[in-house]
Amino acid sequence: MARPRTILHVDMDAFYASVEQLDRPECRGRPVVVGADPRGGRGRGVGAACSYEARAVGIHSALPIGRAWQRCPDAVFLRPRMDRYAEISRRVFAVFGRYTDRVEPLSIDEAFLDLTGTERLLGPARAAARRLKDEIRREVGLVASVGLAPNKFLAKVASDLDKPDGFVVVRPGEEAAFLAPLPVRRLWGVGPRTAAALERLGMRSVGDLARWRRDDLRARFGELGDRVWALSRGIDDRPVEPGGAPRSVGAEHTFEEDATDPDAVRRTLLRLADKVAARLRRAGRVAGGVTLKLRDGRFRTVTRAARLAAPTDVGADLYAAALGLLGAVPSWRTGRPVRLVGIAATRLAPRTAAAGGQLDLFAPAPDGRRRAVALAVDRVHDRFGSRALRRAVHVADEDG
């Protein structure tokens, strides 16, 4: 019988807001919202993160910033400082590296760690996990919630259960008992609609679902039925995958006033596509797919996705694909005002000679030529700044 794995999930609590409270002692104990400024931007945009004090008064991430202001005008509203968050993240991940080289980053503020077989070096896993948590607090000044379990799914659920400053352990053999009282929405892949369908069948808790036969769940829900059957029993065989290369790279823009000019939306989408492509080139990645995000003036959000004919890190290619997706959005076709537009490069892979593809002799704008231009622009931006060289269509938008 295979030896049970020892998996840790570490999640920094309210990370962006906590960094701001760390750097600004006057903000400690106060509601802090990181995102747009409700006073300077006419209440546009959403909150990227908020402190637990802000959550206590009904503010949450992705809440429109105007609503956050209405709920708590005394909150501290701060612009994001991504460079600072990245700096703190590196310090946190340096602590992880003392315990294992098997670290799978999920984002800037959370990761899975595989501690299997480290007992001789680190001692019992529970004690090692507690030390790691304490070292983050002592050396970085921030609080983390930790879940320790035999697999990734259980560790992630455990770290979420007792926030902030949580420490929850699931021992081998306790998987079913741990999961049984939790709502079915705790299972990965179970969103509001699936949860409602499960609840109509009497499956309100994970324990309720675990009593169903696998074949019956598969017959009703297909592959999802198989997956939730396994998860309800605490079965998850996925390994921790070190490296944690990003699965997508995206950018979005919220208009100060709902955009009614289609050309303005297209120009913004082009700028975002160029921005995403530059990030891909810096990371040495190419995209095999594109996702478009569009939010209208009524705050209804639609996403559309498509595969690309060939992997690319060229903004023009991403933009062309996004334009095609834009035409498939009903609110766009009916001329509804646009509040937000975004683009994400997906299906990422390392850029190799094969990924670049063979040039087409008769193509009017071959990928190799477009990419050479893009790399030249990158060099100019690196030396003189991002405003030194811009597309002509953006000059009036940025300077006017």
The DSSP result for 221-256, as a single string, is HTHHHHHHHHHHTT---PPP-TT---S-EEEEEEEE
8 Å CB contact between 379 and 389: no
Nearest alpha carbon to residue 102 among 239, 303, 246, 256: 239
Q: Under DSSP, is residue 39 helix (H, G, I), strand (E, B) or coil?
A: coil
Nearest alpha carbon to residue 194 among 219, 218, 225, 215: 225
Residue with tokens 């030396």: 383
8 Å CB contact between 277 and 345: yes
Q: DSSP state, 205?
A: B
Q: Under DSSP, is residue 58 helix (H, G, I), strand (E, B) or coil?
A: coil
* Beta-bridge partners for 379: none
The catalytic position among 110, 119, 252, 398 is: 110
Within the chain, how many helices (H) and strands (E) appear?
A: 18, 13
Nearest alpha carbon to residue 313 among 271, 277, 268: 277
Is 110 tagged catalytic? yes
Q: Under DSSP, is residue 93 helix (H, G, I), strand (E, B) or coil?
A: helix
Residue 288 host element (H or E):
strand 285-296
Amino acid residing at 126: R
Burial of 168 (0-12, 13-18, 19+ CB in 10 A): buried
Give the chain's largest Cα–Cα span. 69
8 Å CB contact between 315 and 343: no
**Residue 17 half-sphere exposure, CB side, CA atoms within 13 Å?**
27
Residue 211's alpha-carbon distances to 46, 71, 92, 188, 346, in angstroms, are 41, 43, 41, 18, 37
Active site residues: 110
